[in-house]
Amino acid sequence: MPDNASGVSGTTEPDHRVVPASEPGPRTPEPSVVPAEAQRRAGTSHAETQHGPTNETGKAAGEPTSKRPNDETTKRQFHVGYSPERINPGDTAHSLRNVVKITAGSTPEAAEFVDALYNSVVQAGTHRVSSIAVAEAAKVIENTQRDLNIALVNELALIFNRLNLDTSEILEAAGTKWNFLPFRPGLVGGHCIGVDPYYLTYKAEAVDYHPEVILAGRRINDGMGRYIAGELVKHMIRKDIDTRDARVLVMGLAFKENCADIRNTRVVDIVHELQTYGIDVDLHDPWVDAEFARNEYGMELVDTPQAGTYGGIVIAVAHDCFIEKGIQAIKALAQPRHVIYDVKAAFPSDATQARL
């Protein structure tokens, strides 16, 4: 790839452009094509070059990666590639170089070029597929599968909590079987996992198939924030904590541990639900940029929570910095009568009053 391939302006144009536009944030059954349209404008302005853009954005299977004229001359001149991203925010072990990349192209020539391009930088190699639609479908089901697996353990947590059984202990025991998958309950956010199942649903309904399992998983996962808030309030009431005068600290805003990404974070569901009870909520996350949180969600972050302040604490995100802080330091932030809800079971079960 030329040194200037990442630039959009300048006197020397790149032979090829990779356009990693973000996926749309809103969780709606009908996918947005705004990012794809932005890619189209970036790519078609250079339709005269030998190779058009390569898209890395997750989309609904079969949605056009780039709209382009249909005349034969343009088809020969303008090529589109697709290679869905496989990043995992906060995960330093799995990077671009050591994760296999799926590749596809709008023509055999484009597919060959894109596959060779990624093979030149990805040490793990590539997996070339027959069409862009196949690559799109693979990307969507990667995230849909994870969404459903987490939905299952979330529902198990709802059941086991009613049975007064420790979900983490049960999952640990079941995990001694060689083929039991190690998923844990929690909030499902981010710009991929909570969105891609809707893309698949949208395309399924377009061919008159109405998914049931996929949407059932979405309903479970989308309800977890409200459930956690409700459980915290119930535990506070049982401890005779007046929720009308209580202040609750929510620790963590990022959609997952050890990253600053707050796109589609479901921690906001906990905050909003607690506020419906008239509870004042402080939000603390040293990973997250305060201005970004304010602009994205209208929420203010507290830099340093004050000791002895909170009737309830929700450890919503298991950042390493929270775990290293230690449960005693977290308890010091609470009033003598308090409830700590440990969403991700970051601490032993006897260290907090409630968890999934």
Reported as a single tens digit per residue, the pLDDT across 71-96 is 555 455 678 899 998 888 777 888 88
- Give 157's pLDDT tier (boundaries 50, 70, 90): very high
Please tell me what DSSP assigns to residue 19. E
**Dist. CA 37–CA 135, nearest whole Å:** 19
- Looking at mean pLDDT, say which of 45-54, 81-90, 147-156 comes out highest: 147-156
pLDDT at 47 over 50: no
Residue 48 confidence (pLDDT): 37
Give the mean pLDDT of 331-350.
97
Residue 10 confidence (pLDDT): 47
Give the mean pLDDT of 94-123.
92
Q: Which two tokens stand for residue 126?
A: 């590539």
pLDDT at 58 over 70: no
pTM recorded for the entire structure: 0.84
Give the mean pLDDT of 305-327.
98
- Give 7's pLDDT tier (boundaries 50, 70, 90): very low
- Give 295's pLDDT tier (boundaries 50, 70, 90): very high
CATH topology of domain 138-221: N-(1-d-carboxylethyl)-l-norvaline Dehydrogenase; domain 2 (1.10.1040)
Which residues on adjacent β-strands are paired with residue 54?
18, 81
Mean pLDDT of the chain: 86
Active site residue 321: no
Per CATH, is 17-136 categorized as 3.40.50.2300?
Answer: no
Let me know the angle formed at the C-alpha of 99 by 94 and 105, rounded to the nearest 5 degrees.
140
Residue 46 confidence (pLDDT): 38
Q: Indicate if 224-355 has the same CATH topology as 138-221.
A: no
Residue 94 confidence (pLDDT): 84
CATH topology of domain 224-355: Rossmann fold (3.40.50)
Residue 65 confidence (pLDDT): 47
pLDDT at 18 over 90: no
Please tell me what DSSP assigns to residue 187. -
Identify each DSSP E strand in 33-130 by its residue range.
53-55, 81-82, 101-105, 126-128
**Dist. CA 232–CA 78, nearest whole Å:** 56
Q: Which of 243, 229, 233 is nearest to 278 (CA)?
A: 243
- Looking at mean pLDDT, say which of 19-28, 40-49, 155-164, 237-246 comes out highest: 155-164
Residue 88 confidence (pLDDT): 80
Catalytic residue, candidates 19, 151, 192, 214: 192
Q: What are the domain boundaries of the chain? A: 17-136, 138-221, 224-355
Reported as a single tens digit per residue, the pLDDT across 192-251 is 899 999 999 999 999 999 999 999 999 999 999 999 999 999 999 999 999 989 999 999
